[in-house]
Structures are given as C-alpha cells and as structure tokens.
C-alpha cells in the first residue's frame, strides 16, 4: 500500500519543529506501525537524511515505551492497542496519516516524536511504591487477599505508564495514570501503611510537574491501551479526600 | 467546583419548582414571590432569609467560576503546543469537551440578562417589583419572542452543562465504582432534563398564550 505521511520533525528540545510530508510505497499490510516507520527510516538513512526518532522497546504491547499520536489519537485508531501492536491493515491504500508526539507541557519533546516522560517517574517516586523488607520472597499466599480485590488491583496494575491518558486529555491531566497506581496499591494489604502519604505525595508531584486538572471528560479511558477505567480516578478522589481531611 | 456546583443545582431545582407557580395565576405567583421576602418573619427582619440565601448563592457562583478559571488556565499551561490533527472526542462525556466551557459563558451572559430582566427590571416593561407574575408575562410576550429564544438557548447550554456537571461532581466528591458511575450518569441526565424542561415550559407557555 502507498501512504502519505505527515510527521513532526524537531531536531532537539530547543529548536522549533514542523510537520514534514513523506510519501511511502509498498507498505505491507502485515507490518506493524513501527515497522512501517523502520522502513521509512532505512530509506531516509540511505538517502543521507536524519531518521525519524521515536520511542519503542518490547514491541509486544507491554512495556509502555512506544507513544505517538496518530491522526489525533494516542496509539492510533484501534481501541486497547499500543502503537507497536497497531498494524497497517487498519489503514487503506492512499491514506494520509498525521504522526505527532504526545503534547503536554509535562512531556517536553526531546527530538521528533520522542518526549521526556520522566514526570511520571517523579509521580511514582512521590509515593507509587510500598516499603518492604528485603530478603527472600515471602510465600505466595502468606497474606490472604479477597479475590475481588486481587482482580481489581490487577486490572489497575495493567497500566504500563505510556502516558496516552495525558496525550488524550483535553486538560493534559495525568489523573488516570495516578489513579491506576493509587488503586492498585490501596487495594492491597501491603499498600495500607503508606496509603495516605502516597496519595498526597503523588497528587503534589503531579501538580508540580505541570499536568492539568481532571474534568471527567473520559478521553483518557477511551485512549488507554490497557482499558483502565474512570473508576480509578474515582478511587483516587476518594483516597485523596480522606487523606487530606486527616492531614488537615 | 463540585461542591459549589451541587449547591447551585439545588438552587436551580428550587427556582424551577417555584417558577411553576405561574400556572396557578397572578395572585398565587405574587404571593409566592412575596413569601420569599417575608420568610422567617416576624421572628427575623424583612428579607433576611432571602439575603442569606442570595449571599450563599453569590458565594457559590464566585467559587464555581474561580475554580473553572483555575482549571482552564492549568489546562492551557498543560498543553502549550496544540495537536495538528483533531480527533472526535470518544470518552464517556464526549459532549462535555465541546460544550462545558462555551456553554458556561452562554449561561453566565444569560444570568446577567436574567437579573436585569426579572430581578432589577431594568430591561423589563413591568417596573412594579411585587408583580412578579406581570413581569414574567410581559417579558415573554409574543412580540418579544427574541427574549424567549435567548432563554431557550441558555437552557440548551444549561442542559449540556448539567448533564456533565452533575455526574462529574459526584465523581469528584464520592468517587463511585463503575456500576455507580453509570447510574450517576443516568441520574444526572434525568435531573438535567427535569430542570431544563421545568424552566422551558414557562416562557413557551407565555409566548404561545397558554398563560396570560
């Protein structure tokens, strides 16, 4: 298939960027979206041009490294799918496709389509963990956990921290990411001792990083490749309210 | 945002229900309007309860608008560079993305007009304050049809504002699970419909001569 691409090119964080058009021929419909970009980059390199920089790692849809906003949608048009698992059969011969980086003040562009998502790391460092003694691993069932809680915590823990929620949110908010982490840990007995300090610390780090506030439009959940639901934002709100009241 | 919004919704419900007195006739409606001013008498001074409610209402409106300005400014700062390609919204409150902020401005402008019209009577032909019934009939008279159209347009904006606002407030304050979130969305839609239809029936009835 033949495609017209418009890709955001930006040499570095300081330089201004622009959308640049590329024509690409003989794209296999069995290629993944990133493989299509690989083919384009091989051509650019052979022509002596700078290849398009984009983030990727496992290419199995589980690491959260790939990003891209494809035709205005984080991870492209297919629901519950990361960019690396999106295949060219979702597009038609002759399509023109816009490829942009995530747009958020908290995720500055480093080069082309690569953004710096370390703001998420700072949110995790502010409370998205449990403190546990090191040593041999405890027995798997030493701490009983109700099946419902385990399932809900597991669904929230499916978050790969890719940042699609921020990219999709009209307010540039990171509440779905933060809600997933808070929900995952606050449903577990191991997460209880730090439950209040966790939510207060994470929300403060989120706001410091320059993410926007949540207005419950639900665009984040619709874009999430792991189908994290808005209930995690509800749980985050509830935990935050309780912790803030107790801290006051 | 959520707490002030819920209080404003409670005011709207009371205001809407009070308006329906217009269908009982001039005397009953004016008696109701008079009753609001004399509420609490003789124990409390004239219009004291009314002013307590008014001050509370103004405080809610100020807090609500201030919260909206803060959220909007944060949103603009959080996305300094816009996307080149637009996508249609596909979230649970997709209408909110397009209607919440512009709708709020329409509602705000309407409230200014509405106060000048039916509270201060600056733009109303009936200057006699105790005659609430007369003022309603005069402002929505058939030859002043643009007033009715503006009123209905503001209600249209209010409908979308409430449809999102009610469940959004519950999501912020209570944080329901998925099942209750869906129920809250349905309840929000229902309450928004009741409020907007209850308000709309008055100007429509007056303009079409069903009440005169």
What is the per-residue pLDDT across B85-143, written as a single tens digit (0 to 9) for each? 988 899 999 999 989 999 999 999 999 999 999 999 999 999 998 999 999 999 999 99
Residue B212 has pLDDT above 80, yes or no: no
Host H or E run for residue A12:
none
Q: Given an 8 Å threshold on Cβ–Cβ distance, is B78 in contact with A231?
A: no
pLDDT single digits (tens) A11-54: 999 999 999 999 999 999 999 999 999 999 999 999 999 999 99
| Two tokens, residue A202 | 């994470």
List phi, psi (to 5°) of B93: -120, 55
Q: Which residues pair with A107 in a beta bridge?
A: A104
pLDDT of residue B82: 96
Q: Given an 8 Å threshold on Cβ–Cβ distance, is A217 in contact with B77?
A: no
Q: Say if B194 falls within a structural domain.
A: yes
Q: Into how many domains does chain B fold?
A: 1
Q: What percent of chain B has pLDDT over 90?
A: 95
Q: Find tokens 């032909």 and name the residue.
A: B125
| Strand-pair category, A73-74 with A69-70 | antiparallel
Mean pLDDT score of chain B, rounded to an integer? 96
Q: Which CATH class is domain A117-131+145-247?
A: mainly alpha
Q: Would you place residue B211 in the very low, low, confident or very high pLDDT band (cuts 50, 70, 90)?
A: confident
- Write out chain B residues lying below 8 Å of A211, CB-based: 78
Q: Given an 8 Å threshold on Cβ–Cβ distance, is A219 in contact with B75?
A: no
> Are A33 and A120 contacting, i.e. CB atoms less than 8 angstroms apart?
no
Q: How far apart are CA B91 and CA B77, in angstroms?
A: 22
Provide the domain limits for residue B126: 2-80+94-207
DSSP of A85-105: G-BGGGS-TT-EEEEE---BT
Q: What percent of chain A has pLDDT over 90?
A: 95
Q: Say if B88 falls within a structural domain.
A: no
- Write out chain A residues lying below 8 Å of B94, CB-based: 217-219
Question: Closest by alpha carbon to A105, among A214, A13, A228?
Answer: A13
Q: Which residues pair with A97 in a beta bridge?
A: A5
Q: How far apart are CA B113 and CA B186, in angstroms?
A: 31
Closest Cβ–Cβ partner in B90, B176, B177 for A222: B90
Burial class (CB in 10 A: 0-12, 13-18, 19+), A154: exposed
Chain B interface, Cβ < 8 Å to A:
70-71, 74-75, 77-87, 89-94, 96-97, 100, 164, 167-168, 171-178, 181
- Write out chain A residues lying below 8 Å of B78, CB-based: 104-106, 171-173, 210-212
Q: Say if B73 falls within a structural domain.
A: yes
CA distance B9 to chain A (A): 17
Chain Cα centroid distance, residue B135: 19
Q: How far apart are CA B202 and CA B91, in angstroms?
A: 34
CA distance A138 to chain B (A): 31
- Write out chain B residues lying below 8 Å of A106, CB-based: 78
Q: Given an 8 Å threshold on Cβ–Cβ distance, is A216 in contact with B96?
A: yes
pLDDT single digits (tens) A144-189: 999 999 999 999 999 999 999 999 999 999 999 999 999 999 999 9
| Strand-pair category, A96-100 with A69-70 | antiparallel
Q: Say if B41 falls within a structural domain.
A: yes
Domain A3-111, classified CATH 3.10.20.30, yes or no: yes
Q: Given an 8 Å threshold on Cβ–Cβ distance, is A231 in contact with B181?
A: yes
Q: Given an 8 Å threshold on Cβ–Cβ distance, is A238 in contact with B175?
A: yes
Each domain of chain A, given as residue ranges in start order, spans 3-111, 117-131+145-247
pLDDT of residue A51: 98
Q: Given an 8 Å threshold on Cβ–Cβ distance, is B79 in contact with A219?
A: no
Q: How far apart are CA B205 and CA A203, in angstroms?
A: 50
Q: Given an 8 Å threshold on Cβ–Cβ distance, is B82 in contact with A231?
A: no
Q: How far apart are CA B107 and CA A222, in angstroms?
A: 29
Q: Say if B86 falls within a structural domain.
A: no
DSSP state of A31: S
Q: Say if B87 falls within a structural domain.
A: no
pLDDT of residue B151: 97
Question: Closest by alpha carbon to B68, among A172, A212, A222?
Answer: A212
Q: Would you place residue A134 in the very low, low, confident or very high pLDDT band (cuts 50, 70, 90)?
A: confident
């Amino acid at each position: 298939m033949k495609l017209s691409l418009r890709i955001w090119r930006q040499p570095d964080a300081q330089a201004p960027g622009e959308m640049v058009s590329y024509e690409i021929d003989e794209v296999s419909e069995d290629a993944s979206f990133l493989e299509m970009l690989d083919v384009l980059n091989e051509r650019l390199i052979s022509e002596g041009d700078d290849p398009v920089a984009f983030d990727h790692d496992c290419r199995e849809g589980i690491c959260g490294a790939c990003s891209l906003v494809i035709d205005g949608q984080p991870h492209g048009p297919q629901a519950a799918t990361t960019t690396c698992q999106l295949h060219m059969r979702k597009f038609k011969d002759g399509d023109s496709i816009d490829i942009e980086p995530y747009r958020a003040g908290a995720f500055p562009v480093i080069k082309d389509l690569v953004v710096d998502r370390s703001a998420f790391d700072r949110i995790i460092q502010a409370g998205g963990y449990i403190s546990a003694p090191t040593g041999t691993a405890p027995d798997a069932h030493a701490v009983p956990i109700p099946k419902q809680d385990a399932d809900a915590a597991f669904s929230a823990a499916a978050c790969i921290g890719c940042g699609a929620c921020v990219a999709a949110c009209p307010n540039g908010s990171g509440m779905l990411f933060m809600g997933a982490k808070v929900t995952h840990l606050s449903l577990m007995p191991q997460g209880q001792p730090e439950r209040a300090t966790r939510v207060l610390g994470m929300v403060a780090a989120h706001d410091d990083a320059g993410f926007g506030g949540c207005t419950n439009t639900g665009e984040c959940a619709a874009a999430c490749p792991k189908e994290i639901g808005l209930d995690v934002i509800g749980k985050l709100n509830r935990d935050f309210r309780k912790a803030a009241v107790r801290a006051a | 945002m959520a707490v002030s919004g819920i209080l404003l919704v409670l005011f709207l419900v009371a205001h809407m229900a009070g308006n329906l007195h217009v269908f009982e006739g001039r005397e009953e409606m004016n008696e109701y309007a008079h009753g609001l001013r004399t509420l609490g008498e003789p124990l409390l001074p004239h219009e004291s309860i009314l002013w307590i409610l008014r001050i509370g209402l103004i405080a809610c409106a100020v807090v609500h608008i201030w919260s909206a300005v803060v959220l909007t400014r944060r949103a603009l700062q959080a996305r300094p560079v816009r996307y080149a390609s637009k996508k249609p919204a596909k979230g649970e409150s997709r209408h909110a993305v397009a209607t919440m902020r512009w709708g709020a401005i329409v509602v705000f402008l309407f409230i200014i007009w509405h106060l000048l019209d039916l509270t201060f009577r600056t733009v109303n032909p009936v200057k006699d304050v105790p005659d609430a019934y007369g003022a309603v009939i005069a402002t929505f008279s058939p030859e002043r049809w643009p007033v009715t159209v503006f009123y209905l347009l503001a209600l249209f904006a209010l409908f979308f504002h409430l449809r999102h606002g009610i469940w959004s407030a519950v999501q912020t304050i209570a944080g329901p699970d998925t099942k209750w979130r869906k129920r809250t969305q349905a309840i929000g839609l229902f309450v928004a419909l009741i409020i907007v239809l209850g308000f709309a029936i008055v100007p429509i009835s007056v303009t079409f001569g069903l009440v005169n």
